[in-house]
Amino acid sequence: MAGRVAGKVALVTGAAMGLGAETARRLAGEGAAVLLTDRDPAGEAVALAIVAAGGQAAFCLHDVASEGDWTAAVAAAVELFGKLDILVNNAGIASSSLDLMTHSLEDWRRILSINLDGVFLGLRYAGPALAVQGGSVINLSSILGKVAIPNAAAYCASKGGVLLLTKAAAVEWAPLGIRVNSVHPGFIDTPMVANALQASENGNEMRDALIAAHPMARFGVPREIADAVVFLASDESSFMTGAELVVDGGYTAQ
């Protein structure tokens, strides 16, 4: 299959829905063989749909906070498709509003374990496979890794950590031919955002306020983030590493 990432092999975490599922579809549509991973077995259906549409894809269960699961996921990608060229560290969780003065250590560690530890483990265990021929890592951070909102300290800290971890890896791995960049979405119309709004006491008001905070006066859609990931995965971005690609409808321009 011809395409912007034809002949490449990608591993996309958190690929059962939302940004991960759309990213997997876009990479496959541009010619990559894709291993979708997630704790949610619904990712299997996404992979089967990609195959039905003529793409190459497979799925495996994967908890990104587990070292053993990372070892198995990377091995599966190499066994199924022969190598690994692209790693998309997309898996992440949000939380309900958490005030710092009542924030539990358990909640803090739960959010950091997925959003930041999961990215570190992805780099740690996929790195050797990527180093064989060089490749591209795309870490999903957030605008909340660059600016803050109240009652989201753990999420902001985790995503800010992803930003600096990305730069550290980019500098360390440039001699190996591995590029490492981060994507910083604004608020995107995904199940994660919808669930967070639904859990709020004033979800409709919050949604209106968040939309108003974007100069483009709307939420983004998953395709807009997936397109950014495809760009960073492709040779079109060959001189980019350690970069922060912000896709936020102008949220952080203010």
pLDDT > 90? residue 206: no
Which one of the listed residues 81, 125, 155, 187 is annotated catalytic?
Answer: 155
Q: What is the DSSP string of 81-143?
A: HS---EEEE------S-B-TTT--HHHHHHHHIIIIIHHHHHHHHHHHHHHTT-EEEEEE--G
pLDDT > 90? residue 18: yes
- Specify whether 155 is catalytic: yes
pLDDT > 90? residue 227: yes
- Whole-number Å distance between alpha carbons of 155 and 150: 11
- Band of the pLDDT at 1, cuts 50, 70, 90? low
pTM, two decimals, is: 0.96
Nearest to 27, CA basis, from 201, 219, 229, 164: 229
Residue 225 Rama label (left phi>0; alpha psi -120 to 50; beta): alpha
pLDDT in tens, 161-184: 999 999 999 999 999 999 999 999
* 201 or 132: which leads in pLDDT: 132
Residues in contact with 209: Cβ distance below 8 Å, sequence separation at least 6, in sequence order? none
Q: Are 41 and 61 in contact (CB under 8 A)?
A: yes
The domains located in the chain, with CATH, are 9-188+221-248 (3.40.50.720)
- Whole-number Å distance between alpha carbons of 48 and 5: 20
Amino acid, single-letter form, for residue 108:
W
* Amino acid 232: pLDDT: 98
pLDDT > 70? residue 204: yes
| Helix, strand, coil fractions of the chain, as percent rounded to 5 | 50, 15, 35
